[in-house]
Structure 1
Amino acid sequence: MTEFFKSFASAITTFWRAPRPAQVGMGLFFAASVADGILMPFFALWAHNVAGIPIEFIGLLLGCYAGGELVATPFVGGIADRLGRRPVLLISTIGVGSGFVLLYVVHGAFAAAVALIIIGVFESVLHPTASTVIADVVPAEARRRHFAARRVMSNAGSMAGPALGALLALHSLGLVFLGAGITLLLAALVIAVCLTETRPPGAAPGEDDDDDSLLVLTAAFRDRRLAALMVPVALIELAASWIGAIVPLYAETGGTLTASGIGLLFAYAGAIGVVLQMPITHATERMRGSRIVLWAGVVQAAAFACLFLSPALPSLVAAVTLLALAGMLTGPLVQSIVTELAPRTAQATYQAAFGVVGDIRDAAGPAIGTWLFAFAAVLPWGAGAVLSIAASLGLVSVMRRHEQPEGVSDSPPSDRYDEMQRPQ
């Protein structure tokens, strides 16, 4: 028990001992999670009750948000490698915050869709650049621990956001947009005051480097190591998104939970992440990455199995608990591997490329999951269990190749990246 509390306290210690830019990066993840938590649990209610949007089109409207990210990423995804981290974070947080404020003042489905696309465009570089700031200033051997602390901050935001959103929604559903916008505008102020530029001096592109953003990001995708990592992670994330998207419908049709009860269920999942992330990271520090991801796949499949058996409350609690544990196992590990794969001159580009995994999850996951649910209530859970196991086995293969001794390639990552960018 003493070791557990030491591990839990290490999240706070890691944050306070981290370099100032890394603290700002972690704080930005907290602010972004608070904003999402303020808004997302109440978006469907606002769209249906205030904006008058039919229920069947609400998911499509949310897809505009992820769609904006997907469209923008090829063009601006790696822009922080050229302009610098600080200006990109300033512009993106101001853009996302202003977009949420815009949602507060506009009316109608079309205007809301345009605002969500704009938010997605600015959002496309926010999380990757914040992760890059952490990677810039934290030594390689400490990155996994710092990315774990970053997840703790995100989970803390996921707890605080819905509570703040509930208070705002008591007065007006539209106020949740204003609350989310103000949160990110305050984060922009913190960036302006506290963040110094972290891009390594040698990472600035030369005068003859006139490749556009699309080609530079394509070079990252052409890195077979990154592509091999992204495919199984995308499948795992896609399956995991079904639980968040379908459990509210599953619980409602089963008569298990009310809307407020569902909110508490997911707040509980965020609390698990705050309490257990650092102890789990410490407990698995000496384990091989391939073993960690295999266990994570089994745990995530078990979450789906619980839902397959019953929509009763114990099954719902067990499912969100197991899903949270699976994310805690793989999240910091995969993020640290992405930073290892990235050349020194392309950290932001690789983070943006890997961020496409989240964009695909948000754009396609809920739609696929609800489509399966429409056929049969248990179909997403059976399919999710199978997909989780299959994808984790694929990720195990990737991890084993990554764990092989270096020296297989004739050139370092930075050289291979440069070669991929040269015109043929």
Structure 2
Amino acid sequence: MTTISSSWLGLPRPALLGLFLFFCAGFADGALVPFFPLWASSEADIPIGAIGLLFGCYAGGELIAAPLIGGIADRVGRRPVLILSSLGVGCGFLALFFIHGVAATAIVLILTGMCESVLHPTILTAIADVTEPSAHPRWFGMARVSSSAGQILGPACGALLALLSLSTVFLAAGGMLILGGVVMLAALGETIGSGRAGDRQEEEEEEEGLSALLPALRDGRLAKLLLWVVLFEISGNWIEAVIPLYARDAGTLSPSGVGALFAYAAALTVGLQMLVSRFAEARSALWLTAGAGLSTIAAFVLLMASPATLSLIAAVSLCSMAQMLVGPLVPTAVNALAPAARRASYMAASSVAVDLKDSLGPSIGTALYALAPRLPWAAGIPLVAIASVGLGVAIGRARQVFGPATSEACFDAEAARPETPAAWSAGPAMEEYS
């Protein structure tokens, strides 16, 4: 225990705090997302076809804000952005407990989404600021583990609260993010000055304005990568958005059972993510995304065949495995393309892709489900097949073309070889911590 404690004490504090904030955000998502469709359809009397639109309001707030404030952490610093965004999202979730009506819910979700637009990308940026580029895949994998650990406790807590009232899950979700904001206020130091020499000069030369905050408009490599991310993630999101309704209407799972199902899926990620990441170090990006695509397709086939409990468990297991294969690749590829002084802006651009997924995924998925219960799974199979191949090719190209700051200052001779998958594995710096 002493050795483990000393090892953790040697890690960069901002990175550890970033993992904690990922845990808080994962808890909030886990407590909220599986129960939101059930709350909307049962307690809020919202038609099933319109539930996806409320999900879209949350993601829409992120889409509205990301072009305007997505890269603000490059200008005012990571610390104030993380504090204000976590507190803002927490207060927004708390407000959902007290409001009533579709219009009021939509307004609160839009405002909450605007605060959330900078939360996840800024956490990843702060981690990248204080860790070596060769260690980024390992750290981003640990970020997924931290988020999934929260997603274990979140649905479990939500399942208990749902026995009282489905709306009480909003209290748990909001309270955890407010706790995260308070911890950031007390313990987080600024990381924007942790870059390599020359970053400040490069930052001063960057353009201001909308184009600087949306580098996807100027960087064609990033735009192509994010396009495939959106297509791949939209159908994967249907698992999360549609299964609660699918299981309830089939009489398979209660609301508490749905929470337990998603807690189980998160537990798989906690237990297997780092093992899968080590396995993935020796595989090409196309190999990994193809494996993720096949896993997701197999999940859809099982769901088409039956809504039985065993099918649901197997489906979320396969989708969790797909996310473990692909999840750490995307932020690593985005960070590789980004100049050091523009990390937050590039990460914010990648969050736009996630926001589109969170907006279009539930909207399309629930609309398809309203037409026919098995239609989302049938439509998802060809979409995943095409998107997984395109995503693998795009990530592979990003791994071969690094941004100026990365290629010149951040990679040593071994890690800079584009043909070597080890370029994305943990380097000597992480060996000290492990």
**The TM-score by the shorter chain falls in which range?**
0.7 to 0.9
Kindly tell me: are residues 363 and 133 of structure 1, through their superposed partners in 2, closer, same or farther at Cα, counting changes over 3 Å? same
Instruction: Tell me, in whole angstroms, the C-alpha distance in 1 between the residues paired with 2:366 and 2:45.
Output: 21
Written as runs of structure 1 = structure 2, the 5 A alignment for 1:17-416 is 17-200=10-193, 203=199, 211-212=208-209, 214-404=210-400, 412=404
Kindly tell me: are residues 101 and 245 of structure 1, through their superposed partners in 2, closer, same or farther at Cα, counting changes over 3 Å? closer
1:201-253 per-position Cα deviation (integer Å, ceiling 9, x unaligned): 654586786722x2212334321111121111111100101122222233334
Shift of 1:174: 3.7
Shift of 1:166: 3.1
Instruction: Tell me, in whole angstroms, the C-alpha distance in 1 between the residues paired with 2:270 and 2:366.
Output: 29
Q: Which sections of structure 1, spanning at least 5 residues, go unmatched?
A: 1-10, 416-424
The residue matched to 1:211 in structure 2 has which SS?
Answer: coil
Kindly tell me: are residues 210 and 286 of structure 1, through their superposed partners in 2, closer, same or farther at Cα, counting changes over 3 Å? closer
Instruction: Tell me, in whole angstroms, the C-alpha distance in 2 between the residues paired with 1:132 and 1:399.
Output: 19
Shift of 1:68: 0.5
Amino acid at match of 2:109: L
Instruction: Tell me, in whole angstroms, the C-alpha distance in 1 between the residues paired with 2:285 and 2:9.
Output: 27
Kindly tell me: are residues 44 and 326 of structure 1, through their superposed partners in 2, closer, same or farther at Cα, counting changes over 3 Å? closer
1:8 match: none
1:171-202 per-position Cα deviation (integer Å, ceiling 9, x unaligned): 44443222222211111111112111111365
Of all paired residues, the percent bearing the same amino acid is 49
Kindly tell me: are residues 341 and 313 of structure 1, through their superposed partners in 2, closer, same or farther at Cα, counting changes over 3 Å? same
Shift of 1:302: 1.6
The residue matched to 2:253 in structure 1 has which SS?
Answer: coil
Stretch of structure 1 that moved more, 229-238 or 104-113 = 104-113
Kindly tell me: are residues 172 and 252 of structure 1, through their superposed partners in 2, closer, same or farther at Cα, counting changes over 3 Å? closer
Amino acid at match of 1:412: P
The residue matched to 1:196 in structure 2 has which SS?
Answer: coil
Amino acid at match of 2:169: V
Amino acid at match of 2:208: D
Instruction: Tell me, in whole angstroms, the C-alpha distance in 2 between the residues paired with 1:396 and 1:174.
Output: 40
1:295-331 per-position Cα deviation (integer Å, ceiling 9, x unaligned): 2222222211222222222222211111100100011
Tell whether the 8 Å contact from 1:14 to 1:149 is kept in structure 2 after alignment.
no
Instruction: Tell me, in whole angstroms, the C-alpha distance in 2 between the residues paired with 1:233 and 1:59.
Output: 20
Tell whether the 8 Å contact from 1:16 to 1:23 is kept in structure 2 after alignment.
no
Provide TM-score, normalisation by structure 2: 0.85
Tell whether the 8 Å contact from 2:159 to 2:260 is kept in structure 1 after alignment.
no
Stretch of structure 1 that moved more, 260-269 or 326-335 = 260-269
Instruction: Tell me, in whole angstroms, the C-alpha distance in 1 between the residues paired with 2:170 and 2:285.
Output: 40
Tell whether the 8 Å contact from 1:34 to 1:180 is kept in structure 2 after alignment.
yes
2:428 match: none
Q: Which sections of structure 2, spanning at least 5 residues, go unmatched?
A: 408-434
The residue matched to 1:394 in structure 2 has which SS?
Answer: helix
Aligned residues: 400
Shift of 1:101: 2.5
Shift of 1:358: 1.3
Shift of 1:375: 3.5
Tell whether the 8 Å contact from 1:220 to 1:349 is kept in structure 2 after alignment.
no
Stretch of structure 1 that moved more, 233-242 or 369-378 = 369-378
1:116-158 per-position Cα deviation (integer Å, ceiling 9, x unaligned): 1111110000011001111111111111111111111111101
Shift of 1:55: 4.7
Instruction: Tell me, in whole angstroms, the C-alpha distance in 2 between the residues paired with 1:295 and 1:51.
Output: 40
Instruction: Tell me, in whole angstroms, the C-alpha distance in 2 between the residues paired with 1:293 and 1:157.
Output: 25
The residue matched to 2:191 in structure 1 has which SS?
Answer: coil
Instruction: Tell me, in whole angstroms, the C-alpha distance in 1 between the residues paired with 2:380 and 2:345.
Output: 31
Shift of 1:12: 10
Tell whether the 8 Å contact from 2:37 to 2:245 is kept in structure 1 after alignment.
no
